[in-house]
Amino acid sequence: MIEAIWGEHKTTEQIVEILKNFQDKGELALVTRVSPEKASELKGFFKSAEIHSLARCLTLGKIPAPLTSLGNVVVLSGGTSDLFVAAEAELALRCHGVQVELLLDVGVAGLHRLFNELEKLKKANVLIACAGMEGALPTVLAGLVSQPIIGVPVSVGYGVSARGKTALEGMLASCSPGLMVVNIDNGYGSAMAALRILRS
């Protein structure tokens, strides 16, 4: 597995030193949770670095081509408000050579859009479902398909949604057996769980 560098609470200088290490070893580096300002500063030090603004990440090094032998993952989001978490999961999987597809706006508020994608979902090896508000999407999915499903609660929603806590508790209390759940906004963690499943 490629080691991720948590960028949010590190200074630019600290990340630069870590990236130099990765670069010296010829390893692909993935920096997560990077603000646009910090990403821009890092780009000044590493011209070949790539900023992934939707995922709030930065990579340094070549992202591998997908290996069909690994299988494929579909990352779903209830709405575009969940995009930063879904995009982080998608990027982390691509960094490991996993074939991945991102499906947006297939939440329970527009259930017909989810039904339109069912045949595609049934062909995936693993599904990652990112959802804020009440976090119902993974539970609904688990009632429709048989693949492993990883629920990612997202810190999106009004008042009582409590910055993702309601979605987290809803997913943990799901009546769908076997649903896996990671922490709030943890797109990277969901990708690594999917990778473990694919490699098993």
Sheet holding 126-131, edge to edge: 99-103, 72-77, 126-131, 149-153, 180-181
The pLDDT score that the predictor gives to residue 96 is 96
SS (H, E, C) the chain: CCCEEECCCCCHHHHHHHHHHHHHHCCCEEEECCCHHHHHHHHHHCCCCEEECCCCEEEECCCCCCCHHHCEEEEEECCHHHHHHHHHHHHHHHHCCCEEEEECCCCHHHHHHHHCCHHHHHHCCEEEEEECCCCCHHHHHHCCCCCCEEEEECCCCCHHHHHHHHHHHHHHCCCCCCCEECCCCCHHHHHHHHHHHHHC
pTM over 0.85: yes
What distance separates the 2 farthest-apart alpha carbons in the chain?
50
- Answer for the pair 15, 41: CB distance below 8 angstroms, yes or no: no
Q: Average pLDDT of each block of 10 consecutive residues along the chain (200 residues)?
A: 90 96 94 95 95 96 92 92 94 97 86 88 96 90 94 91 90 90 96 96
The pLDDT score that the predictor gives to residue 121 is 94
The pLDDT score that the predictor gives to residue 162 is 86
Distance, CA of 23 to chain centre: 24
The pLDDT score that the predictor gives to residue 3 is 84
The pLDDT score that the predictor gives to residue 156 is 85
Instruction: Give the whole-angstrom CA distance, residue 4 versus residue 14.
Output: 14
The pLDDT score that the predictor gives to residue 62 is 93
The pLDDT score that the predictor gives to residue 12 is 96
